[in-house]
């Protein structure tokens, strides 16, 4: 039985070696099991017909009924295509084919009624459907009994080899017919019955070939439940293991350095949220168990201070601490802030980045080993082989999502004993997503901004209103304020991006000419020293305007800069826009964020801009982002990668189910921590099967 599902896909009737190779390389389908778990990404209701008048390019796949009135050939070269005018009572559209022209014209002569199925698009202002499925309408009547037709995603390469969605569905059908046994249940019986789940065998058939929407829903629920449940069970087991196993250094006291700082150097009082988080961290540090804490807080909520105070506790207890930041600018900024705040206190802080000089490196290496260096701040230069700590007690990772899991692991391993770890993220993560991405970490949240902040006013302007924006900027400069202007940088079209920035710079220098105005520029192609001197000009208030690519996204703290202009704002993701906006509004002055866009916005872009103008709440923005785009695309999680492949669930949409199954998993582990009860045997085996290869990930995330 098990062996059957492990059979090489090439042996399935209708596959063969050549198609097997394609299934391997394009869809990662190697075995019967892989095919079985290749779930449809949606279902099309083939009983529903649209009229042409109802169509718009935002609709997914649609079905329409009408006649072809005539064919034409358009374009030339690679763009050469066959088009057909297709009409129903309500209007007409174009059907378009780039291949198979002869066959189409022969098989679908003008005249009879056809059913056309495809994704509407738009070209030259007219609705079209490229490479539609097309059938004579009398033939369609036969298969209307099963209304829900599964759609499988394919690739161009697969389709060119006739492995269309339809063909894949057919292969799945063949496989299910050959499966004469029942799939063994992968959840304990008591779970299946208590939570009223469809059994696995049934669910597997129905997910591919549902007869009713209700049945499909049950099958889906069952499979999602299982997938999410095992993920949570795994995360919670790791968290429990870590808590019971990983001894942590005990930072028993709050000592002289901390108190000195707190009483003499702290320029303001802590917010209630900062106090609460400090309490949580202190409890962890004194507990004897290694801390693994995620600190979430919106931009500007004061995470740096929390980081600094935590490091002081480490130092007071005789340990070293380090902060790792994702960019040189941010590391340099931390270095400045932190050295500044520690003024007059005997603590040695150093900055290590890729561009640090040899002599400084040498000094750092030596003072790390003789314990005279207390705090090391840096970029990923910190995880280079030759950086060795003598007694690293606390690791702080800022803007966590920019570091890969492996990079983090290397910092962990810099010590014989695992240091305490505080991960700080400036991009708020929706609760349920955090539950999965960081499900084995403890979470602290700073949910309050320091007092006296004036909320940033966000405005949207189209490019053609640029002149009124310039007028606005001029009056802000007259008032003595400074301005950021940011251009997008999108990997893959670097040349174009710099062109945007350079054109913009030209334009802005004409509007704000020297010597009256001083403009400073920062972008990723500059050497660090040039970058730093540009930043310095702006930081010291000598430049009125800073033109930059997104290198300034994180960390830059310049209270006198009160306007953030984001060019081509439609090209940025939501969390990035929010981050950028967070660069202003840091002083007592009213600040502004101006989103510049072209006149034509996609629905999604318009929604992003609308959300930005409406709210300043990072958590609300993150939720919206998750809704719009799904977690795979959320900036940040992309780099760190979701460490497992979700076959059916959607972290964005299935938030409630995630909470639900997490509670169930928690209950089970409370009763049976090692999953030793005979009723839970299935779970222990299931976990082993699913996660054996990935255990090392959870250790370090």
- Binding residues for ligand ADP, rule: CB under 6 A, are 268, 270-271, 274, 297, 299-305, 426, 450, 557, 586
Phi, psi of 321 (to 5 degrees): -140, 155
Written as six digits, the tokens of 331 are: 């590391």
Q: Give the closest residue to 37 by CA, choosing from 23, 49, 47.
A: 23
How far apart (Å, rounded) are the C-alpha atoms in residues 217 and 198? 10
Task: Compare residues 81 and 578 and give the one whose CB is closer to ligand ADP.
Answer: 578
**Smallest distance from the beta carbon of 123 to ligand ADP, in angstroms?**
45
The residue of the chain with the least Cβ separation from ligand ADP equals 302
Tokens of 523: 């972008």
Q: How far apart are CA 236 and CA 664, in angstroms?
A: 11
Give the nearer residue to ligand ADP in terms of CB position, either 70 or 452: 452
Q: 439, 529 in Cβ contact below 8 A? A: no
Beta-ladder partners of 531: none
Considering beta carbons, is residue 253 or 275 the nearer one to ligand ADP? 275
Report the distance separating Cα 244 and Cα 165, nearest Å.
49
> How far is 406 from 532, CA to CA, in rounded Å?
29
Our measurement of the distance from residue 49's CA atom to the centroid of its chain's CA atoms, rounded to an integer in Å, reads 36
> Of 190 and 268, which has the nearer Cβ to ligand ADP?
268
Q: Are strands 126-130 and 120-123 parallel, antiparallel or unpaired?
A: antiparallel
Residue 67 or 560: which CB sits closer to ligand ADP? 560
User: Is 176 or 341 the residue whose CB approaches ligand ADP more closely?
Assistant: 341
Residue 117: beta bridge partners? 63, 133
Q: Is 700 helix (H, G, I), strand (E, B) or coil?
A: helix
Going through 572-694 in order, the beta strands assigned E by DSSP cover 592-597
**Cβ nearer to ligand ADP, comparing 279 with 362:** 279
Question: How crowded is residue 167: how many other Cβ atoms within 10 Å of its Cβ?
Answer: 17
Instruction: Give the β-pairing of 120-123 and 148-151.
Output: unpaired
The nearest distance, CB 351 to ligand ADP, in angstroms, is 17
Decide: 564 and 539 in contact? Cβ < 8 Å: no
Return the closest-CA partner of residue 482 out of 576, 547, 429, 438: 547
Q: Is 29:17 a contact under the CB 8 Å cutoff?
A: no
Residue number, 302 or 419, with CB nearest to ligand ADP: 302
The minimum distance between CB 268 and ligand ADP, in angstroms, equals 4
Name the minimum Å distance from CB 582 to ligand ADP: 6
Q: How far is the CB of 274 from ligand ADP (least distance, A)?
A: 6
CA distance 183 to 204: 9
For the CB of residue 539, give the shortest distance to ligand ADP in the complex, in Å. Answer: 13
Question: Closest approach of Cβ 433 to ligand ADP, in Å?
Answer: 20
Of 692, 652, 685, nearest in space to 228 by CA: 652
In terms of CB distance, is 88 or 280 closer to ligand ADP?
A: 280
Q: For residue 164, what are its two tokens? A: 């269309």
Burial class (CB in 10 A: 0-12, 13-18, 19+), 214: exposed
**Among 660, 694, 670, 683, CA closest to 236:** 670
CB-wise, 305 or 324, nearer to ligand ADP? 305
Q: Residue 271 or 637: which CB sits closer to ligand ADP?
A: 271
**103: which 2 tokens?**
């066959």
447: Cβ–Cβ under 8 A, 6 or more apart, which residues?
273, 297, 301
For residues 143 and 198, what is the distance between their CA atoms, to the nearest angstrom?
Answer: 27
Beta bridge mates, 376: 322, 350
Cis preceding linkage at 515, omega within 30: yes
- Closest to ligand ADP by CB, 453 vs 474, is 453
For ligand ADP, the closer of residues 101 and 270 by Cβ is 270
Instruction: Write down the least CB distance from residue 43 to ligand ADP, Å.
Output: 44
Containing 36, the helix (H) or strand (E) segment is helix 32-36
């Amino acid at each position: 039985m098990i062996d059957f599902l492990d059979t090489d896909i090439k042996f399935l009737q209708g596959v063969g070696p050549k198609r097997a190779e394609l299934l391997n390389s394009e869809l990662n389908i190697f075995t019967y099991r892989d095919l079985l778990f290749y779930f449809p990404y949606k279902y099309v209701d083939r009983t529903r017909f649209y009229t042409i008048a109802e169509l718009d390019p935002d609709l997914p796949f649609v079905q329409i009924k009408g006649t072809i009135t005539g064919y034409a050939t358009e374009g030339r070269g690679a763009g050469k295509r066959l088009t057909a005018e297709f009409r129903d009572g309500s209007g007409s559209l174009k059907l378009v084919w780039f291949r198979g022209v002869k066959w189409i014209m022969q098989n679908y002569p003008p005249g009879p009624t056809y059913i056309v199925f495809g994704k509407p698009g738009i070209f030259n202002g007219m609705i079209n459907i490229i490479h539609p499925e097309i059938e004579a309408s009398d033939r369609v009547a036969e298969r209307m009994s099963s209304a829900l037709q599964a759609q499988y995603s394919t690739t161009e390469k697969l389709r060119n080899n006739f492995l269309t969605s339809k063909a894949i569905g057919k292969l799945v059908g063949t496989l299910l017919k050959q499966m004469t046994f029942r799939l063994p249940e992968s959840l304990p019986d008591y779970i299946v019955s208590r939570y009223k789940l469809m059994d696995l065998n049934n669910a597997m058939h129905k997910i591919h070939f549902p007869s009713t929407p209700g049945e499909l829903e049950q099958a889906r629920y069952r499979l999602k439940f299982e997938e999410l449940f095992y993920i949570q069970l795994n995360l919670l087991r790791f968290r429990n293991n870590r808590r019971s196993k990983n001894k942590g250094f005990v930072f028993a006291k709050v000592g002289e350095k901390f108190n000195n700082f707190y009483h003499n150097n702290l320029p303001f009082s802590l917010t209630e949220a900062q106090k609460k988080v400090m309490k949580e961290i202190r409890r962890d540090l004194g507990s004897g168990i290694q801390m693994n804490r995620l600190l979430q807080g919106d931009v500007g909520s004061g995470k740096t201070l929390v980081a600094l105070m935590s490091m002081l506790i480490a130092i007071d207890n005789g340990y070293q601490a380090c902060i790792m930041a994702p960019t040189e600018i941010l590391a340099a900024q931390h270095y400045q802030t932190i050295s500044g705040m520690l003024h007059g206190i005997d603590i040695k802080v150093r900055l290590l980045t890729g561009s640090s000089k040899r002599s400084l490196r040498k000094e750092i290496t030596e003072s790390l080993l003789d314990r005279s260096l207390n705090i090391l701040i840096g970029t990923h230069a910190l995880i280079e082989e030759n950086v060795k700590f003598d007694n690293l007690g606390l690791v702080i990772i800022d803007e966590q999502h920019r570091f890969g899991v492996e990079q983090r692991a290397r910092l962990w391993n810099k010590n014989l004993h695992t240091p305490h770890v505080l991960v700080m993220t400036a991009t708020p993560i929706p609760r349920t997503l955090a539950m999965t991405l960081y499900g084995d970490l403890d979470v602290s949240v700073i949910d309050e901004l320091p007092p006296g902040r004036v909320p940033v006013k966000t405005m949207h302007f189209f490019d053609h209103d640029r002149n009124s924006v310039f007028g606005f900027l001029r009056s802000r400069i007259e008032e003595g304020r400074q301005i950021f202007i940011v251009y997008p940088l999108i990997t893959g079209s670097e040349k174009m991006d710099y062109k945007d920035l350079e054109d913009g710079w030209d334009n802005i220098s004409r509007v704000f000419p020297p010597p009256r105005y001083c403009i400073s520029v920062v972008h990723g192609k500059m050497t660090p020293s040039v970058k730093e001197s540009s930043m310095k000009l702006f930081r010291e208030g000598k430049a009125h305007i800073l033109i930059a690519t997104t290198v300034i996204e994180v960390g830059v703290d310049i209270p006198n800069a009160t306007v953030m202009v984001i060019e081509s704002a439609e090209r940025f993701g939501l969390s990035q826009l929010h981050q950028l906006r967070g660069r202003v509004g840091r002083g007592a002055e009213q600040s502004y964020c101006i989103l510049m866009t072209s006149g034509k916005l996609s629905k999604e872009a318009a929604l992003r801009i609308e959300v930005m103008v409406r709210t300043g709440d990072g958590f609300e923005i993150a939720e919206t982002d998750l809704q719009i785009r799904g977690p795979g695309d959320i900036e940040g999680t992309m780099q760190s990668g979701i460490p497992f492949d979700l076959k059916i669930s959607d972290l964005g949409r299935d938030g409630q189910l995630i909470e639900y199954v997490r509670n169930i998993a928690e209950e089970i582990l409370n009763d049976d921590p090692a999953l030793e009860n005979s009723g839970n045997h299935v779970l222990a085996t299931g976990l082993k099967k699913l996660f054996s290869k990935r255990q090392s990930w959870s250790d370090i995330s």
